Amino acid sequence: MSLQSLLSTKIVRAASIADAAFDAVVLVGSQESVKQFGAIQQVSAIAPAVDNFLKLHRGAFHSASLVQVDSSVVPSGRLILSGTGHVSRDYDDVRRYQAAARKGIELALSAGVKSPLLITLPNARFPNAELVAALGALTPVYTPLNVREEENKQKLQQLGLLAVGNSDTSARLEQFVEAYDASFTVCRDVGETGPERMAPPRVAEYIQNAFANGNIKVTVVDDQSVILKDFPLMAAVNRAANAVKEHQARLIRLEYTGEGETQDTFFVVGKGVTIDTGGCDLKTGGHMFGMCRDKYGSAVVGGFFKAIDVLKPKNIKAVGYMCMVRNSIGSRAYTCDEVITSRSGKRIHIYNTDAEGRLTMLDPLTLAKEEALKAKNPHLFTVATLTGHEVLSYGYYAAIMDNGPAKASGWARKVQEVGDEFGQPIEISRLHPEDFAFHQAECEQADLRQGNTKPSVATLRGHQTPAAFLQMASRIDEHGTDSAHPLKYSHIDMGGCEGDHPSVSFPNPLVTLVAGLVLPHV
């Protein structure tokens, strides 16, 4: 697929507000930014119209309004003023710009605008406001994959961007917006599309097409005997689905090597459960609705590599695993009380088949660990919609849990700062001895227990203990700061940050991962 075919709309740089290629100007700013008008040469001509409108509508910077302006200033005569509301209180953050731009474009779409020009007035407190606003503006422009496949529907002909700030992200606004928008499309297409269109074999086919002729090498393990032998826990989750050819598991590997000497190597393993029925510990009472998004961890991995594909960062190597399985129910389904030996040689006692995400990722994570031992400055990650406990703890925010070496490198704290700067905050959770003790086996048949029989929301430290389980079951715990070969590992529980099904998601923590790991190398 070409880059253009993955963009929500064509993204172009505008020359000025007087550019006749656009049929509306969408101006995003705060009440305080009115004072800047005179100082910003690109927008100063619009200032009298905004001043006049403020006399009519004092709350204009707390809402979105369509304002008629003289065509000598804006050729289309249309100005959409979209206010951020408050941006100066302690708890205001840059996401005000994202929300305002989104509302502005929603108003533009309802007004029949086809070619808007987005301008965001800068704010010294939020250097990335222009980028964050543009990503918000593109959210209502995304068209779901199944609709795109059936009709040639274009909500906009183009989105113009006029950068007026002087931050790094302002200077490269179009480049970054294109990369993010393409990565969002891959993430949303994989993450939000239903369980048949995005069954594991069709995710593999989609990813192969999305990365064809690009900078990412894609390989797919589709031989079920190989999955059974090399990824035995993933095979267990897949066992019921394996009876249906169209639902069989796939392990998708993505690999990128940037120009120049490799300084950092990232291994990112994503949970890709295409529908989670719960298995024989069946989800009841309507709890299965929305579980097509249980593949969102893998969707973030796909989106992360699309951003890499477009931006071509130097001096890094990245390997991704999208662990695609369907947790079905059926006569061959795996059940509680089974003891299954993992790739690492640990015997795992199954307690609850609805805790399948950790099992799906475990063996690919172990493979990534084996590769990491030979890699330059490696850092392993798991990214997963893993627990309801994380949702209860943090709402729509993802949580990072560093192991010892990752914590010593200060990774979670660094990425938390980056997330705040780019409008996608992320929380830090920590691991304690009881998280590791919790997963010790209760009988001689096994080394570890997968979990308990309760849902995570009824379990103390229900989102932290899986991070301890993944470390012990993959033997990453043998590579702590006290070992001869420490390995950095960070588990990211996305909880519910992929958003409420079925509304369009704002890919999370994709913005932060790209900003933290990729942009410094571009």
In 3D, which of 133, 98, 129 has the Cα closest to residue 117? 133
Q: Determine whether 293 is an active site residue.
A: no
Q: Does 421 bind Zn ion (CB under 5 A)?
A: no
- Grouping H, G, I as helix, E, B as strand and the rest as coil, residue 36 is helix
Q: Are strands 378-384 and 347-349 parallel, antiparallel or unpaired?
A: unpaired
CB 365 within 8 A of CB 447: no
Our CB check for Zn ion shows the closer of 103 and 271 to be 271
Q: State which residue, 356 or 493, has the beta carbon closest to Zn ion.
A: 356
Nearer to Zn ion by C-beta: 237 or 368? 237
Question: Residue 292 CB, nearest distance to Zn ion (Å)?
Answer: 13
Burial class of 5 by CB neighbour count within 10 A (0 to 12, 13 to 18, 19+)? exposed
Half-sphere exposure of 67 (CA within 13 A, CB side): 30
Q: Could you give the residue ranges of the DSSP H alpha helices within 193-275?
A: 200-210, 224-230, 232-238
What character string, x for contact with Zn ion (CB under 5 A) and - otherwise, covers 275-304? -x----------------------------
How far apart are CB 277 and Zn ion at their closest, in Å? Answer: 8
Annotate 437-454 with three-state secondary structure: HHCECCCCCCCEECCCCC
The tally of CA atoms less than 13 A away on the side-chain side of residue 149 is 7
Cα distance between residue 492 and residue 385, in whole Å: 9
Q: How far is the CB of 278 from Zn ion (least distance, A)?
A: 6
The smaller minimum CB distance to Zn ion, of residues 293 and 479, is found at: 293
Q: What is the dihedral of CA 397, 403, 405, 410, to 10 degrees?
A: 20
- Of 157-186, binders to Zn ion (CB under 5 A) are none
Cβ at position 354, least distance to Zn ion in Å:
4
Q: Check 197, 283, 347, 475 and give the catalytic one.
A: 283
User: Strand 64-68 and strand 78-83: pairing?
Assistant: antiparallel
| First vs last C-alpha separation in the chain | 22
Annotated active-site residue in 95, 239, 295, 358: 358
- Of 241, 261, 273, 306, nearest to 518 by C-alpha is 306
- Chain positions 338 to 357 lying near Zn ion, rule: CB under 5 A, are 354, 356
State how far the Cα of 387 lies from the Cα of 266, in Å rounded to an integer. 24
Q: Label residue 476 exposed, middle or buried (CB < 10 Å: 0-12, 13-18, 19+).
A: buried
CB of 144 to Zn ion, least distance (A): 24
CA atoms lying within 13 Å on the CB side of residue 106: 12
Q: Which helix (H) or strand (E) holds 86?
A: none
* Spatial separation of the C-alpha atoms in residues 218 and 227, rounded to whole Å: 17
Catalytic annotation present for 454:
no
User: Which residue number places its CB atom closest to Zn ion?
Assistant: 354
- Between the alpha carbon of residue 353 and those of residues 81, 328, 444, 477, the distances in Å are 51, 10, 21, 24
**Torsions phi, psi of 101, nearest 5?**
-65, -40
Q: Which is nearer to Zn ion, 140 or 278 (CB)?
A: 278
Between 189 and 356, CB nearer to Zn ion: 356
* Smallest gap from residue 279 Cβ to Zn ion (A): 8
Distance of alpha carbon 12 from alpha carbon 290, whole angstroms: 35
Using CB under 5 A as the criterion, what x/- string covers residues 354-393 for binding Zn ion? x-x-------------------------------------
Number of amino acids touching Zn ion (CB under 5 A):
3
127 vs 451 by CB, closer to Zn ion: 451
CB of 208 to Zn ion, least distance (A): 27
Smallest gap from Cβ 360 to Zn ion, in A, equals 9
What is the four-CA torsion angle of 297, 325, 278, 472, rounded to 10 degrees? Answer: -70
Q: How far is the CB of 492 from Zn ion (least distance, A)?
A: 17
Interface mask toward Zn ion for 241-280; x: CB under 5 A: -----------------------------------x----
**Closer by beta carbon to Zn ion, 11 or else 249:** 249
Compare residues 264 and 276 and give the one whose CB is closer to Zn ion.
Answer: 276
Contact footprint for Zn ion (CB under 5 A): 276, 354, 356
The catalytic residue positions are 283, 358
